[in-house]
Amino acid sequence: MSPIYSKVSVQEDMLPGPSLEDRFAQAADLGIEGLEVWSETLPGQVSEIVRLNGRAGVVVSSVNHGRRSRFLDPDPIERRSAMSELSEAIRLAGHIGAVGVGYAPHFFGPLLPDLSPYRTARELELGLLSAQLDELADQAQAAGVQLWVEPINRYETHLLVHLEQAASLVMAVDKPHLGIVADLFHMALDEADVLVALRDSAALIGQVHLADNNRRLPGQGSTDFKPVLNLLREIGYDGWMTFECGEPGDNHPQAQAYLRDLPSSLAYMFDPR
């Protein structure tokens, strides 16, 4: 099947496979051009990805870092582990020809102390994160990929919740290979106006994650995707739009249902009729 829309990808665990080669074929049958893979399992997939990349017009579009070691932990050993894991993901993303790596820097509440009046916990976190991003951005440039910071909803983090917060952080670091992820599920929960948020941060959006407001497939909730897609075209967004629904990284039990329902979701979003 020819691609239904340019640069649409899906996370690998949303397709049943069971093999990676099967998932490449399933994506092609859906008219989807890309797969997003997970950094934790990527080292064992590299040779297979290199063999399969481009088959039937499908490539690995990006790497999702998921939830692994903690970047903003007080323990330097934990922080070094987090940096090492993401460094490996960046290096391997370059090797397999992915465009970029997306990651959420912190989940849930602060782990660093409140050192007021010197620094609040949030100020310490943002300072540490800026220093890490400065180093990681150089690695991304060396690997020839982008590194995207993803804000997530207030139930999963206290730190970067809005696009504007992630954009401000990235702009302050001021490195060319840094950008942000606009996740429409998280945005539906926390942005006062999704369209305004997308427009205001347009220059830094490197990837868009597709899910309805209930984290089901687009068209299975209450988000109106037509204005969002129209705005993305208006601002000249030409990056990947990636399905991230359900339980990201752990969607294997629902993968057969996603394979069944993705055609109607794709038609809902991209069929001009």
Tokens 């290979």 locate to: 177
pLDDT tens for 233-269 read 999 999 999 999 999 999 999 999 999 999 999 999 9
Q: What is the mean pLDDT of residues 165-191?
A: 97
Whole-number pLDDT of residue 271: 78
Give the span between the Cα atoms of 7 and 20, in whole angstroms. 19
* 3-class secondary-structure state, position 4: coil
pLDDT tens for 26-71 read 999 999 999 999 999 999 999 999 999 999 999 999 999 999 999 9
Give the span between the Cα atoms of 43 and 49, in whole angstroms. 10
Residue 134 lies in a domain: yes
Is the pLDDT score of 22 beyond 50?
Answer: yes
Residue 2 lies in a domain: no
Tokens of 250: 């752990």
Whole-number pLDDT of residue 196: 98
Tokens 């370059």 locate to: 94
> Domain range holding 203?
8-270
Give the span between the Cα atoms of 204 and 165, in whole angstroms. 12
Residue 1 lies in a domain: no
Residue 103 lies in a domain: yes
Tokens 């994506």 locate to: 27
**Confidence band (pLDDT; 50, 70, 90) for 141?**
very high
Tokens 């068209």 locate to: 219
Radius of gyration of the chain (CA): 18
Residue 3 lies in a domain: no
* 3-class secondary-structure state, position 262: helix
Residue 195 lies in a domain: yes
CA distances from 253 to 11, 17, 188 (A): 14, 12, 25
Give the span between the Cα atoms of 18 and 15, in whole angstroms. 8
- Domain total of the chain: 1
Q: How does strand 8-11 pair with strand 240-243?
A: parallel
CA distances from 147 to 5, 15, 52 (A): 24, 25, 24
Residue 26 lies in a domain: yes
Residue 248 lies in a domain: yes
Q: What is the CATH number of the domain that holds 200?
A: 3.20.20.150
Tokens of 123: 């100020």
What's at 204, amino acid-wise?
Answer: L
Q: What is the mean pLDDT of residues 134-148?
A: 98
Give the span between the Cα atoms of 184 and 221, in whole angstroms. 12
Is the pLDDT score of 193 beyond 60?
Answer: yes
**Confidence band (pLDDT; 50, 70, 90) for 3?**
very low
Q: State the number of CA atoms in the 13 A half-sphere of 20 facing the CB.
A: 21
